[in-house]
Amino acid sequence: MSLHLEPIRVATGSGDEEGRLVLMQDRLVAVLVRLSEQHGPDAGRWFLEAGLGPLAGPDQPSFAGLDEAQDWILRRLDGLHP
Amino acid sequence: MASASNAELAPLIRKLESIATLSDEARQAVHALPMAVRVVEPRQDLARDKDKPAHCCVLLTGWAYRYKLLDEGRRQILSFHVPGDIPDLQSLHLHVMDHSLATVTQCRVGLIPHEGLRALCLRFPDAAFALWRDTLIDAAIFREWMIGIGRRNAHSRIAHIFCEMYVKLQAVGLAENHRCAWPVTQTDLGDALGLSNVHVNRVLQDLRAQGLIGPQDRDLVILDWDALSALGEFDETYLHLERRAAA
C-alpha cells in the first residue's frame, strides 16, 4: 500500500494555504496543510487538516515532515485492515 | 495548613448569593464551616478519577478544571472553575469520583470535610438550597457546552467560553470592564472545546484581527462584547444569576 501526494492550495481561512491531497490509488484519504509562521514553534509542520473515512475524527495531529505524516496515515489505514 | 479568613471566603459567599438568597445565619454558618486551607501548585490534581474524597474543595484563589483522561493521553476538559466554585461538590453525595479535578494556576483551596457540609445543609435549608441550585446551574453549563461541541463552529465555541468565564468571574467580583485574567492555555481550550491546537490558534488570531479581543495571551480583554457574544450565541440565562457582585 502506498500513498500519492498532490500539491493543492487549501482555503483554511488562515495563513495556512500550502497543502497536499493524500491519495491512496485514486481515492482521497486526507488533506495535509503546512502550518504557516502564525503557528510560532509549530510553523513548517504538516497538520492533518482533514481525514476521510477511517481517518475522520477529533484526532488531528501534526507531523515534522511529509514522510512522518504518510507513515502515520498508513499505520492508521493498516490498523483497520491487518 | 491554615484556616480561611473571611476575606478569602468572599468569593464563595458572593457565588452563593449571586444564585440564591442566604439568611444572615446561613451566611455566618458558611463562614464558620470547618476548613483546612492548602496552597496547591499549578497543574496538580486536587482529586483523581476513582478517588473517594472525604472533603469538598472550595477554590479561594486560582483556577481549576475538571477532566477525563482517555486512551493514548487524550484528555477532555469538562469545565473550568474560578474562586467561589466548589468543583467537587458532587462528592458529598456521589462517593466515587468519575473524573479528575486539577489546578490550572496556583490555587488556595479550602478543604471542607463532608460532615461539615452535611451539618450545614441539615441546619440551614437555605444553604442546602443554594448548593442544590449551584449543582443545577452546573448541569445547565454542561448543556451549553454540549450544544457548543455538537453544533457550534470553532469561532463560536471560543467566543462562547470567553463570554461565559467573564460573566462567571464578574459575578464573584473578579472581573470588570470586560477584562479578566486568562490563565487557560491554547491546548486547554482545544481539549475543552474539542478543537485542535491549530484551530484554536487560527481562531484566536482571527478574533484579534477582527478587533473582538485584545492581543494579550494571559489576560482576556473583550474589545467588542456585543460582537463576541453574538458570535458565540451567548445568552447568560443558563447561568441563572440573581445578583451580580458590585463591580
Residue B134 belongs to a domain? no
Partners of B191 on chain A (C-beta within 8 Å) are: none
Tens of pLDDT along B219-240?
A: 999 999 999 999 999 999 999 9
Tens of pLDDT along B171-194?
A: 999 999 999 999 999 999 999 999
Same domain, B13 and B115: yes
Residue B161 belongs to a domain? yes
* ipTM here: 0.92
Q: Terminus-to-terminus CA distance in chain B, angstroms? A: 31
Average pLDDT of span A56-76: 95
Same domain, B176 and B119: no
Residue B130 belongs to a domain? no
Which candidate from B194, B198, B205 shows the least CB-CB separation from A47? B198
If you write DSSP's letter for every residue of chain B in order, what string do you get? -BPPPHHHHHHHHHHHHHHS---HHHHHHHHTS--EEEEE-TT-EEE-TT---SEEEEEEES-EEEEEE-GGG-EEEEEEE-TT--TTGGGGTS-S-SSEEEESS-EEEEEEEHHHHHHHHHH-HHHHHHHHHHHHHHHHHHHHHHHHHHH--HHHHHHHHHHHHHHHHHHTTS-BTTEEE----HHHHHHHHT--HHHHHHHHHHHHHTTSB-S-SSEEEBS-HHHHHHHTT--GGGG--S-PPP-
Q: Can you give the pLDDT at residue A82?
A: 42
Please, are residues A29 and A77 in contact by the beta-carbon 8 Å criterion? yes
Same domain, B150 and B120: no
Residue of B nearest to A35 (CA): B198
Same domain, B156 and B115: no
- Band of the pLDDT at B245, cuts 50, 70, 90? low
Same domain, B154 and B118: no
Residue B97 belongs to a domain? yes
Phi, psi of B42 (to 5 degrees): -60, 150
Same domain, B10 and B74: yes
Nearest 5 degrees, angle CA B182-CA A58-CA B238? 50
Same domain, B119 and B185: no
Tens of pLDDT along B117-129?
A: 999 999 999 999 9
Rounded CA-CA distance A30/A50 in Å is 6
Residue B247 belongs to a domain? no
Residue B14's contacts (CB-CB under 8 Å, 6 or more residues apart) are: B84, B171, B172, B173, B245
Contacting A with CB below 8 Å, chain B residues are: 74, 194, 196-199, 201-202, 205-206
Domain range enclosing A28: 3-80
CATH code for the domain in which residue B117 is found: 2.60.120.10
- Which H or E run includes A12? none
Residue B99's contacts (CB-CB under 8 Å, 6 or more residues apart) are: B49, B66, B67, B68, B78
Q: Can you give the pLDDT at residue B217?
A: 84
Question: How many domains in chain A?
Answer: 1
Per-residue pLDDT at A2 exceeds 50: yes
CATH code for the domain in which residue B158 is found: 1.10.10.10
- Please say whether the dihedral angle defined by the alpha carbons of residues B73, B152, B223 and B10, taken in this order, is positive or negative: negative
Tens of pLDDT along B127-159?
A: 999 999 999 999 999 999 999 999 999 999 999
Per-residue pLDDT at A12 exceeds 50: yes
Same domain, B66 and B150: no
Residue B129 belongs to a domain? no
Please, are residues B144 and B164 in contact by the beta-carbon 8 Å criterion? yes
Residue B1 belongs to a domain? no
Residue of B nearest to A42 (CA): B198
Instruction: Give the end of a domain, one of B100, B124, B148.
Output: B124
Same domain, B10 and B116: yes
Say whether A29 sits in a helix, a strand or coil: strand
Helix ranges (H only) for chain A are 66-80
Domain range enclosing B120: 6-124
Rounded CA-CA distance B85/B105 in Å is 15
Residue B183 belongs to a domain? yes
Exposure string of B145-165, with b = 16+ CB inside 10 Å and e = fewer, is: beebeeebebbbbbbbbbbbb
Same domain, B97 and B148: no
Partners of A38 on chain B (C-beta within 8 Å) are: 201-202, 205
- Looking at every residue in chain A, the average pLDDT score rounds to 93
Partners of A60 on chain B (C-beta within 8 Å) are: 196, 198-199
Same domain, B94 and B198: no
Rounded CA-CA distance B223/A67 in Å is 43
- DSSP 8-class letter at A57: S
- Band of the pLDDT at A80, cuts 50, 70, 90? low
Say whether A48 sits in a helix, a strand or coil: strand
Q: How far is B74 from chain A (nearest CA, A)?
A: 9
Partners of B197 on chain A (C-beta within 8 Å) are: 42
Tens of pLDDT along B15-73?
A: 999 999 999 999 999 999 999 999 999 999 999 999 999 999 999 999 999 999 999 88
Question: How many domains in chain B?
Answer: 2
Same domain, B23 and B93: yes
Are A13 and B194 an interchain contact pair (Cβ–Cβ within 8 Å)?
no
Residue for cell digits 474589545? Answer: B223
Per-residue pLDDT at B5 exceeds 90: no
